[in-house]
Amino acid sequence: MAAGVAAWLPFARAAAIGWMPVANCPMPLAPADKNKRQDELIVLNVSGRRFQTWRTTLERYPDTLLGSTEKEFFFNEDTKEYFFDRDPEVFRCVLNFYRTGKLHYPRYECISAYDDELAFYGILPEIIGDCCYEEYKDRKRENAERLMDDNDSENNQESMPSLSFRQTMWRAFENPHTSTLALVFYYVTGFFIAVSVITNVVETVPCGTVPGSKELPCGERYSVAFFCLDTACVMIFTVEYLLRLFAAPSRYRFIRSVMSIIDVVAIMPYYIGLVMTDNEDVSGAFVTLRVFRVFRIFKFSRHSQGLRILGYTLKSCASELGFLLFSLTMAIIIFATVMFYAEKGSSASKFTSIPASFWYTIVTMTTLGYGDMVPKTIAGKIFGSICSLSGVLVIALPVPVIVSNFSRIYHQNQRADKRRAQKKARLARIRVAKTGSSNAYLHSKRNGLLNEALELTGTPEEEHTGKATSLIESQHHHLLHCLEKTTNHEFIDEQMFEQNCMESSMQNYPSTRSPSLSSQSGLTTTCCSRRSKKTTHLPNSNLPATRLRSMQELSTIHIQGSEQPSLTTSRSSLNLKADDGLRPNCKTSQITTAIISIPTPPALTPEGESRPPPASPGPNTNIPSIASNVVKVSAL
């Protein structure tokens, strides 16, 4: 709970008076404020700079250094102040946290110094407010990366935890520097890619003449040699592909990845060529397929970081490139049309059709100017010059826009990704805080009732059940308890709720419930009447579940103080799991078992309504004056 909100807790508690007239059950007692002191100013001397604040301000966060008794270690008797030999600048932020409930991170501070100070004062950095959290996380990540780099450069050869063979292989493939075998494999494949590409290229070079026939390309002259080379390369590539496929952690994802597609495309032509015979019809297609062998050059992108970055760049600014293409296309079509009609008149014009003029327009706009097509008419020349001038503009203008767009969008994406990642974390934090506070309530409910019982029997010792909750927490829990009493329902956590729902959906019938009760109560006690794990709901559930339940079954006695016809049949249901849905109406004074898991004999018979009974579902219709004749009997 935030500090500032804690200041409103008295108000919330006072406003709870509004529930009282509608509540049907007696309310639990309020936690007593044992040591109620007048608020006093305390002086905190941090390296000579004096800060003063109220004691209650610091006590808002009792699990930090300043909020707990730990600060007494720093108390200086002579000067009657608390002296801390720490950085006063950071202390300013820390103290503001107590005052406002929000922890800020000053940008000029070093991240590790700040972390150290927070650790000293016992404050978790996770509660840094949203305004400063991103900055804090960024700096922390940079720092961590720096540390990691240092670590990596120190010990390169640290022993990894034993991975499976498959995982080691995958790591070897992805990161060749991990082992020498991987490095060897990396270089071998690189070499063979190069060999394959070079053979593809050299194949087509004319290679001297065989006497008696025309000039042959080397591929046909030394066809056997080239075929052997090709086979060897394809063997290597196939083996590599199969190994990668085997080692991939997610085969489906691997198959869909770009690199694997390139691999497949690179080796397919060979196999297709093997399969197909020298059929005249398909040999043309076969020749085309050999073009795909050039894709082997893309396999180099595994070896080159730069190629990968380039590919990613192109992919990420695809829309800008598309726009460039589109605007170019528009200009080409316009100018081609104009040139065609301008040159229509001249004889022997090369501008035979508009598509034919496309070539001229492209060549002119990109300022290539091959000269194979030139306008001859005056109009044609005019438009031609306009075309070449505008070509410069159309090409040159979008490019910086694209570049800056790309840079802007790239950074924006980075920021958006960061924010999205942090948003999930932020929402998770909020959710955790919420469940934390509600879990704290549920937890203390189980323990707190124990405390109340102990207090009433006069045992002065506190903190029997581990950590004592702070006063503010106990007051907040008391408030939630009053709400439970008002509505006759209990708070439970999510898992319990899911279980309840599942079980209620499984058992639709109100089983052995007494008809009068079910008709009268009408609430869904029936659907939750059978739950397997109820014991966590017991206030005194420190015993292990089964043992408690068996004891309950043996020893629950329900005695009613006033005559309530609805509950006469309650005894019959005692045969059920006793703490079962037969939560008798808390209105009717009733008994609960008094099993307490502490060594003191459980023969507590506190008078009055010291133990609020577990929330009962059965509301009562007629409410006569209820005498508080609650008799508690422990039957063990």
Partner 1 sequence: MSLSLLGLCPPPDSSDSELELSTVRHQPEGLDQLQALTKFTKKELQSLYRGFKNECPTGLVDEETFKLIYSQFFPQGDATTYAHFLFNAFDADGNGAIHFEDFVVGLSILLRGTVHEKLKWAFNLYDINKDGYITKEEMLAIMKSIYDMMGRHTYPILREDAPLEHVERFFQKMDRNQDGVVTIDEFLETCQKDENIMNSMQLFENVI
Nearest approach in angstroms of CB 446 to partner 1 is 13
Judged by beta carbon, residue 243 or residue 479, the one nearer partner 1 is: 479
Binding segment (CB under 8 A) for partner 1, from list 40-48, 227-235, 444-452, 625-633 = 625-633
Nearest approach in angstroms of CB 538 to partner 1 is 12
Q: Residues 6 or more apart from 260 whose CB is under 8 A from it?
A: 241, 244, 245, 254
Judged by beta carbon, residue 304 or residue 524, the one nearer partner 1 is: 524
Contact flag: residue 53 with partner 1 (CB under 8 A): no
Residue 24 token pair:
């049907």
Cα distance between residue 376 and residue 348, in whole Å: 10
Cα distance between residue 58 and residue 67, in whole Å: 5
10 to 29, contacts with partner 1 by CB under 8 A? 10-27, 29
- Is residue 104 within 8 Å of residue 132, measured between CB atoms? yes
Cα distance between residue 214 and residue 209, in whole Å: 6
Nearest approach in angstroms of CB 627 to partner 1 is 8
Nearest approach in angstroms of CB 306 to partner 1 is 39
Judged by beta carbon, residue 29 or residue 268, the one nearer partner 1 is: 29
Binding segment (CB under 8 A) for partner 1, from list 179-187, 383-391, 419-427, 495-503 = 495-503
Nearest approach in angstroms of CB 69 to partner 1 is 23
- Is residue 121 within 8 Å of residue 127, measured between CB atoms? no
420 to 449, contacts with partner 1 by CB under 8 A? 434-435, 437-438
76 to 135, contacts with partner 1 by CB under 8 A? 99-100
Question: Is 581 buried (19+), middle (13-18) or exposed (0-12) by CB count in 10 A?
Answer: buried
- In the list 126, 174, 215, 494, the residue contacting partner 1 (rule: CB under 8 A) is 494
- In the list 385, 568, 628, 629, the residue contacting partner 1 (rule: CB under 8 A) is 628
Binding segment (CB under 8 A) for partner 1, from list 87-95, 175-183, 354-362, 471-479 = 471-479
Judged by beta carbon, residue 21 or residue 458, the one nearer partner 1 is: 21
Judged by beta carbon, residue 17 or residue 275, the one nearer partner 1 is: 17
- In the list 490, 518, 551, 557, the residue contacting partner 1 (rule: CB under 8 A) is 490
Judged by beta carbon, residue 272 or residue 483, the one nearer partner 1 is: 483
Cα–Cα distances in Å, from 350 out to 334, 358, 364, 382, 554? 18, 12, 15, 17, 108
Binding segment (CB under 8 A) for partner 1, from list 83-91, 173-181, 316-324, 498-506 = 498-506
561 to 620, contacts with partner 1 by CB under 8 A? 581, 615, 617, 619-620
Cα distance between residue 485 and residue 4, in whole Å: 27
String of b and e for 461-491 (b: at least 16 CB within 10 Å)?
eeeebeeebbbbbbbbbbbbbbebbbebebb
Contact flag: residue 512 with partner 1 (CB under 8 A): no
Contact flag: residue 382 with partner 1 (CB under 8 A): no
Judged by beta carbon, residue 115 or residue 490, the one nearer partner 1 is: 490
Nearest approach in angstroms of CB 623 to partner 1 is 6
Nearest approach in angstroms of CB 1 to partner 1 is 6
Residue with token string 């080692």? 247
Cα distance between residue 24 and residue 386, in whole Å: 91
Judged by beta carbon, residue 341 or residue 491, the one nearer partner 1 is: 491
**How many residues lie near partner 1 (CB under 8 A)?**
77
The beta-strand segments (E) located in 143-285 are: 206-209, 215-217
User: Strand order in 81-84's β-sheet?
Assistant: 49-54, 41-46, 81-84, 75-76
Binding segment (CB under 8 A) for partner 1, from list 193-201, 220-228, 303-311, 480-488 = 480-488
String of b and e for 409-419 (b: at least 16 CB within 10 Å)?
eeeeeeeeeee
Nearest approach in angstroms of CB 39 to partner 1 is 6
- Is residue 609 within 8 Å of residue 590, measured between CB atoms? no
- Is residue 577 within 8 Å of residue 553, measured between CB atoms? yes
Nearest approach in angstroms of CB 421 to partner 1 is 25
- In the list 377, 465, 487, 562, the residue contacting partner 1 (rule: CB under 8 A) is 487
Nearest approach in angstroms of CB 161 to partner 1 is 40
Cα distance between residue 62 and residue 473, in whole Å: 10
Cα distance between residue 49 and residue 72, in whole Å: 19
Residue with token string 């309950």? 552
Judged by beta carbon, residue 7 or residue 276, the one nearer partner 1 is: 7
230 to 289, contacts with partner 1 by CB under 8 A? none
Nearest approach in angstroms of CB 4 to partner 1 is 5
Write out the H or E segment, with its range, that includes residue 516: helix 515-521
Cα distance between residue 18 and residue 486, in whole Å: 10
Q: Torsion angle of alpha carbons 426, 93, 70, 44, nearest 10°?
A: -160
518 to 557, contacts with partner 1 by CB under 8 A? 522-525, 527-528, 537
Parallel, antiparallel, or unpaired: how do β-strands 41-46 and 81-84 relate?
Answer: parallel
- In the list 479, 557, 576, 598, the residue contacting partner 1 (rule: CB under 8 A) is 479
Binding segment (CB under 8 A) for partner 1, from list 276-284, 337-345, 398-406, 483-491 = 483-491
Tell me, letter by letter, the H, E, C secondary structure of 555-578: HCCCCCCCCCHHHHHHHHHHHCCC
Nearest approach in angstroms of CB 18 to partner 1 is 5
26 to 45, contacts with partner 1 by CB under 8 A? 26-27, 29-30, 33, 38-39
Nearest approach in angstroms of CB 539 to partner 1 is 13
